[in-house]
Chains A and B, each alone.
Chain A
Amino acid sequence: GAVVSQHPSRVICKSGTSVKIECRSLDFQATTMFWYRQFPKQSLMLMATSNEGSKATYEQGVEKDKFLINHASLTLSTLTVTSAHPEDSSFYICSARARQEAFFGQGTRLTVV
């Protein structure tokens, strides 16, 4: 199957700083990628749809100025958590579609201290 790589897998940052998470489709091109957030013992919640060459589409309740998404190429989307706070600590997962199937990155565990 197609491979989606997410980096870093774990990151710890201080409150007030920004963190960038990368999502790459390794063996296919993805015009659209998706960013999810998963709280402990809860489901994946879609945050935004990342569109190559255009602005991301955010789900209701997701602050676009806080969670900056850039999809500069057909194989890379980035999520930047700006001015991070402890409540932003979570597991972030990206996915990309290939052949009518969604492939997921391994996720990034963000801890804000």
Chain B
Amino acid sequence: AQSVSQHNHHVILSEAASLELGCNYSYGGTVNLFWYVQYPGQHLQLLLKYFSGDPLVKGIKGFEAEFIKSKFSFNLRKPSVQWSDTAEYFCAVNARSGNTGKLIFGQGTTLQVKP
């Protein structure tokens, strides 16, 4: 069965600090990978996604993620966080074959950025 694991449940950073959130997945086939963000009181929004090609993916708001196939990882990074990045972050995968709409989510990471 597919599963997604996010290593950090709650991260507290000061503004301008660098961020890396870990994400590992378990699945035997080819997957698409996503990072979503949920700001307080708002919808889930897509930060970035990886389908194929360059394993280093750049998303919105200065976020990037690197797919390392050998490690089954898709870690999210940002060089310098801002107070406005305070939110819940979810890593998700879906299988490239079959019902590609089903997303399996990690347990989420709460990021708190102190001004």
Give chain A's interface residues, CB within 8 Å of chain B. Answer: 4, 32, 34, 36, 41-46, 49, 57, 93, 95, 97, 100-102, 104-107
Contacts and interface: CB of A to CB of B under 8 A. Distances in A.
9 contacts: A32-B101, A34-B101, A34-B102, A42-B108, A44-B90, A44-B103, A46-B102, A46-B104, A101-B46
A20 to B, nearest CB: 20
Which 10 interchain pairs have the tightest Cβ spacing? A104-B44, A43-B107, A43-B105, A44-B105, A97-B101, A106-B43, A104-B43, A43-B108, A32-B101, A46-B102
Contacts, number: 46
Interface of B: 4, 34, 36, 42-46, 49, 51, 90, 99, 101-108
Contacts of A34: 101-103
B99 A102 contact: no
Contacts of A49: 99, 101-102
